[in-house]
Structure formats: C-alpha cells, structure tokens
Structure 1
Amino acid sequence: MKTRHLGKNGFEVSEIGLGTWQIGADWGKQFSTDKALDILNTAVQNGITFFDTADVYGNGQSESFIGEFLKQTNKDIKVATKFGRGGDVYPASYTKDAMRKAIEHSLDHLGVNALDLLQLHCIPTAEMQKGDVFNWLRDFKREGLIKTFGASVESIEEGLLCLEQEGIQSLQVIFNIFRQKLVNELLPQAEAKEVGIIVRLPLASGLLAGKFTKTTTFEKEDHRNYNKDGNAFNVGETFAGLPFEKGVELADVLKPLVPEGMTMVQLALRWILDHKAVSTIIPGASSPNQAQANVLASELPPLSKELHATLAEIYKSNVHEFIRGVY
C-alpha cells in the first residue's frame, strides 16, 4: 500500500482508506460487532491506515465499532469523523456548544483523547458562509480536542468557499469516473493551497463495480432505494446523482475499456489515484473480501493517457447531462 500526505504538514494516509457508512447499518444491513471488526481488521492487515466515519452513521455505531477495534490493535490508524448532520443541529441550529458535545461523544465512542480530523458534514452553504463554524473548529483545535479539521462538501462552490478558510486541512468530495467536474477547478486549487482531498463514493454507490442490472433491487433501508431520486438528502450521494437505470447503461459502456488483468473496481479506483491532488479514497466495504480487494488499486500502474482521454470524453458526451443535484 502506497501512502500520501493529507494536506500541508498533514499526517500520512494510505492511498486507499475505508469508509464506514456501511458498517453503521445505514445501507439496509445490520452488522454484528464481530463482522464489523473483521472488516476493519482485514482492511488494516492489507495496509489501510485511514478510516472515515461520522457521528450519525448508525447513530454512533460506526464510531463505536472503530473505537473497539482501536483497543485491539497496535497499528497507527488515523480516524476522521464528522459533525453537522445530527437532528439536533441540521439544518439551522448550529452552536459552538452543540459542536463541543458532538466532539465529546465522538471522543467517547472512539476511545481517544483528541480527534485526528473533524470534518463539517455537508452542512448548508449558508452556515459555512457565516464563518462561525470554522472559528469554533479553530478554537477546539487550540484546546486540543481536535488535531485537524476539514469539510465534507457537496459542490464546487462549497469547496472553493472552504479553501479560503485559514487552517483547513482537507476537503472530502464526491469524485469518480461518472462525476469529473472537479478536475478543472476545485482539484487544482486544492493542490495549490496544499489542502488534502478525501474522495468518497468512488464507485458511485456500486455502479462502477459493473455488477448491477436494471432489475437489481436494494433493501428498504438502503439509501440506494429510498434516496435514489434524492428524497432523503442530496441525490448526488446516491449513484453520483445519476438515475439508476442510466447509470447501469453507462457502466456497461465502460466494461470493454477495462485493461486486461484489472477489474472494473480497480479501474475506477486507479482513475481517481491518477489525479495527484487526491490524498486518499474511502470506498466502503460490506465484507472483508471487499476491503481486501479495494487495496489492490494502490499497487497498479497509472492508466494510459489514451484511456484517461477516452473516459473524459465519455463523461463529457454521455454522462454529465444526466447528473442531478448540487454539483
């Protein structure tokens, strides 16, 4: 597993990390402690040193699983969590006291004295424009409750706004072969400002694994069911904003382009890693085998310039017009 730095003077992270939304049971499947720990342990055994979670994933369950794992390992694992989507604050009840309480709960769940990275969790643009939340983050960093801070954002506009904030360590963004708009503006500016980039939804909620058909169904509690049209939160968080059936069609277009000896998942992850502004990718895993398979992309050679050009043209000509939601 290769590593990169998360922003200027930031800590080292594995190129492939682990997103833990799924083990919080928010994808329609419950996870026992043993199964969650098995996934986390497999990830670490295969070189992953960075976990991403949030206080609302399973109402703290994801953080608690990670905290239990941290008790059992002597590996140096960096954990990023998030604040801002809880029912007590979202969408317009943000206070410094509420942020402090959320930090204290996350510290308790994770069993640590300070959070490695606290990210604003897709909070409304208007709240970020006020600037108070960033002042609170700086204050808590000075207090030693958090080591670094960043923001998970939904749009280029929000990302650029955050890049103007003093002390911001990282941005978490949706970025994949089906969602390439960030390439020309946000990524270059983040790189110039030495702000780390954490990529979520690298497989577009599984579309880029190439295994779905138009008749594939999902559990009632899975966001790929209840949020497929943006009925619960930003539609971009599900299938990268594409209508499911169109996403399946577009994934089929990509299948013949997968290089020999590479899986479609590896193609999708390698494509992201080929953008040097990216610090780490956080695909989720519903099984130890998935966690193990994801890490292989770090060892693969870069994709050819010709393949990059082809994928860029497919996005421009076939994909972009179908993406819905804030982008």
Structure 2
Amino acid sequence: MENRTLGRTGRKVGVIGLGAWQLGADWGRVDEADALGTLDAALESGVSFIDTADEYGDGRSEQIIGRLLRSRARSGAALPTVATKMGRRAPQVAANYNAANFRVWIDRSRRNLGVERLDLMQLHCPPPEVYFSDEVFDALDALVECGAIAAYGISVRSCDQALAAIRRPNLATVQLVLNAFRLKPLEQVLPAAAAAGVGVVARVPLASGLLSGRYTAATVFGADDHRTYNRRGESFDVGETFSGVDFATGLEAVERLRPLVPEGVALAQFALRWIVDQEAVSVVIPGARNAGQARANAAAAALAPLDRDTLRAVQEVYDELIRPQVHHRW
C-alpha cells in the first residue's frame, strides 16, 4: 500500500486506514471477536493507521484497539499509528476545553488504549470558539512537551473551521468529511493544508455506506444505528450521517455513478480511490464491521488512478444532485 506522510507528525502511514467508530457504537452491535478480526484483517492488508475516539461506545472502541495493541506487542508485530479524539463526552461549551480537562480525558484514553503516550490526539469537532483560543492550543502544546501525546490535530465539521485550524503553527492534522458527495474541501482546505504541511484525514468516505451501493429505498437500518436516528441531526450534526445528503437523493446519485465504475471494482472501492487521488489527503478512514469489508477497503489503494473524464463525471453528479443540499452548509 502507498504510504504518505501524516502531516506534521512526520509518520508514514498507509493511505487507507481504518475508522473504528463502527467497533464502538452507533452502527449496530459488533461483538468483540468480530471487532478484533476486523482490526487484524485491516493490518494484514497494509493498513497502518486506526482512528477512534473516547466517545465511541463510551471507550469501547479504544479498549478493543488496546487489546489489539497488547496482542501485537507480545508477538513482536509492528504497531499501527492510533489516533483518538476527545471532547464530545462533555457538555459542548468552550469553557470545558481547558488544560485540566484535557489531562483527564487524555489519561482516560491512555488507559483504554494501554499506552504511555498517544500517537495523535484530536479535538473532536469542538465548539466554534475553541478554534480561536490561544489557551486551548497552548495547553495542547504543553501536553506534547510533557510526553503525554506525540502530536495533536482537530476534527472539524466545516471548511471554515478547517481553515482556522490549519493556521495554528503546531497543528499536525485536520480531519474532515471528504467524499464524492462532499467536494467543497477541494476548493480551499486541501490546498491550504498542503501548503502548511498539515495532514488531512478524510472521514465518512463512503457517506455512511451510501457510496457502497448496497442500499435501496427499502433498506431498513437498526434502531441503534445513527442512519435511523440521526437522519435529521436529532443526536449530532447531520453532516455525519449520509454526509448530510437526503437518503433518496443519495440513492439517485449512486445510480448515476455506477456506470463510471471499472469492471471488477466495487463501488465502495471506486469511491475510496477517488479520495486517494486527492494528493493532499494523508489517509482516508473507511469503517468496517467485518474482516471482509476491511480487506476490500484496503484493496482500493492498489487500483489505478481515475482518469480525467471520470473525475469530471463525478463532479457533474455532485453539481447537479448533491451541491444544492450540502455545499453551503459545511
């Protein structure tokens, strides 16, 4: 798998990673054996970057990854870079983003993961005021200096937030929604990140599974799946569910994309390859609920780059169907 530099961390990671939200909560239950099997399959397929958060299953995702790390350490196997996130377990007010809370949150993640130092800690879509607080970033710098974290980044909701974060001199990475249904970051965010040496972590790459091509108008998701209970943003930002695209419109767009997919390639792999073709992206983090999905996702890195006509056709589908719903919002 192609390796790229993860921004200011200086680490090299495989361009396709693994998002571990599914292994914690909000996508239906994944038992621990399946979760560990998914992680093992991803690493065996060349994945070397795993993204999680302290709120996924209230720490369950981190704890499962911690078991993987201990197992690999005992066997002498190479360890992946693990990025986690903090902040969403507390009330979302800017005052909670302070040095004392950071230390508590980081110590909890260190225990969950079983590590002395976190590879990458990201603020998890914090309140807007946080992006402009020198105190917040001074506190993060201090955590790097004392060795609690190796580097820090920020996970954002909007392009404006991403651009504000990229201006911070010690920010290592910015994580944002980027996929064939969310093209706005291509305009300013990716060029700004590349110019600043900030890594880009692309999340929600399959638009919550819409870009897998497996769903129809008759698909029913479980009651404990955010694709059921958050379609209108009832629990968190609607942009994290189907990338903010109306489900019916998303299905129509998927049908327009299908003819563009090369023979023998799955639509999900095509969608991942589209992201890999954006050179400013450090790593894309598709989720997976089982080993087969993890292997198929990783295999997208070996596909040939998409040609200009295909990229133009993706843009046309976005402009006609998707842009009116999402471009002005995020």
Q: TM-score, normalised by structure 1?
A: 0.97
Separation (CA, whole Å) in 2 of partners of 1:121 and 1:91: 13
Ranges in structure 2 where 5+ consecutive residues have no aligned partner = none
Are 2:184 and 2:327, in contact at CA under 8 Å, matched by a contact in 1? no
Asked if residue 252 in structure 1 is aligned to residue 243 in structure 2, the reply is no
**More displaced 10-residue stretch of structure 1: 245-254 or 13-22:** 245-254
Separation (CA, whole Å) in 1 of partners of 2:130 and 2:328: 19
Query: Residue 199 of structure 1 aligns to a residue in which SS?
Result: strand
Separation (CA, whole Å) in 2 of partners of 1:317 and 1:247: 12
Are 1:177 and 1:315, in contact at CA under 8 Å, matched by a contact in 2? yes
Are 1:159 and 1:186, in contact at CA under 8 Å, matched by a contact in 2? yes
**Structure 1 residue aligned with 2:92, among 90, 98, 101?**
90
Letter in 1 for 2:250: G
Q: Report the CA distance between 1:81 and its aligned residue.
A: 0.2
Separation (CA, whole Å) in 2 of partners of 1:24 and 1:85: 14
Letter in 1 for 2:219: T
Are 1:43 and 1:292, in contact at CA under 8 Å, matched by a contact in 2? yes
**More displaced 10-residue stretch of structure 1: 55-64 or 241-250:** 241-250
Query: Residue 22 of structure 1 aligns to a residue in which SS?
Result: coil
Residue of structure 1 in register with 2:184 after alignment:
181
Q: Report the CA distance between 1:325 and its aligned residue.
A: 8.0
Asked if residue 200 in structure 1 is aligned to residue 199 in structure 2, the reply is no
The 1:9/1:53 distance shift into structure 2, 3 A limit, reads closer
- For residues 231-256 of structure 1, the C-alpha deviation after alignment (integer angstroms, 9 at most, x for no partner) is 11111000010011111111111111
**More displaced 10-residue stretch of structure 1: 120-129 or 49-58:** 120-129
Letter in 1 for 2:148: L
Residue of structure 1 in register with 2:11 after alignment:
11
Letter in 1 for 2:26: D
Residue of structure 2 in register with 1:282 after alignment:
285
Residue of structure 2 in register with 1:117 after alignment:
120
Are 2:176 and 2:203, in contact at CA under 8 Å, matched by a contact in 1? yes
Q: Residues 1-327 of structure 1 correspond to what in structure 2 (within 5 A)?
A: 1-8=1-8, 10-29=10-29, 31-73=30-72, 74-87=77-90, 89-92=91-94, 93-323=96-326, 326-327=329-330
Letter in 1 for 2:202: V
Query: Residue 305 of structure 2 aligns to a residue in which SS?
Result: coil
Separation (CA, whole Å) in 2 of partners of 1:194 and 1:94: 25
- For residues 141-168 of structure 1, the C-alpha deviation after alignment (integer angstroms, 9 at most, x for no partner) is 0010000100000001100100111111
Query: Residue 262 of structure 2 aligns to a residue in which SS?
Result: coil
The percent of aligned pairs where both chains have the same amino acid is 42
Query: Residue 219 of structure 2 aligns to a residue in which SS?
Result: coil
Letter in 2 for 1:7: G
- For residues 14-62 of structure 1, the C-alpha deviation after alignment (integer angstroms, 9 at most, x for no partner) is 1110000000022122x32222111111111111111000000000000
Ranges in structure 1 where 5+ consecutive residues have no aligned partner = none
Separation (CA, whole Å) in 1 of partners of 2:304 and 2:160: 33
**More displaced 10-residue stretch of structure 1: 111-120 or 70-79:** 70-79
Query: Residue 23 of structure 2 aligns to a residue in which SS?
Result: helix
Query: Residue 168 of structure 1 aligns to a residue in which SS?
Result: coil
Q: Report the CA distance between 1:324 and its aligned residue.
A: 7.8
Q: Report the CA distance between 1:2 and its aligned residue.
A: 1.5
Are 1:163 and 1:190, in contact at CA under 8 Å, matched by a contact in 2? yes
- For residues 221-272 of structure 1, the C-alpha deviation after alignment (integer angstroms, 9 at most, x for no partner) is 1111111111111110000100111111111111111112211011100000
Q: Which runs of 4+ in 1 moved over 4 A?
A: none
The 1:103/1:41 distance shift into structure 2, 3 A limit, reads same
RMSD (Å) for aligned C-alpha atoms: 1.3
Are 2:8 and 2:171, in contact at CA under 8 Å, matched by a contact in 1? no
Q: TM-score, normalised by structure 2?
A: 0.96
Size of the alignment, in residue pairs?
Answer: 325
Query: Residue 119 of structure 1 aligns to a residue in which SS?
Result: strand
Are 1:79 and 1:117, in contact at CA under 8 Å, matched by a contact in 2? yes
Are 2:179 and 2:204, in contact at CA under 8 Å, matched by a contact in 1? yes
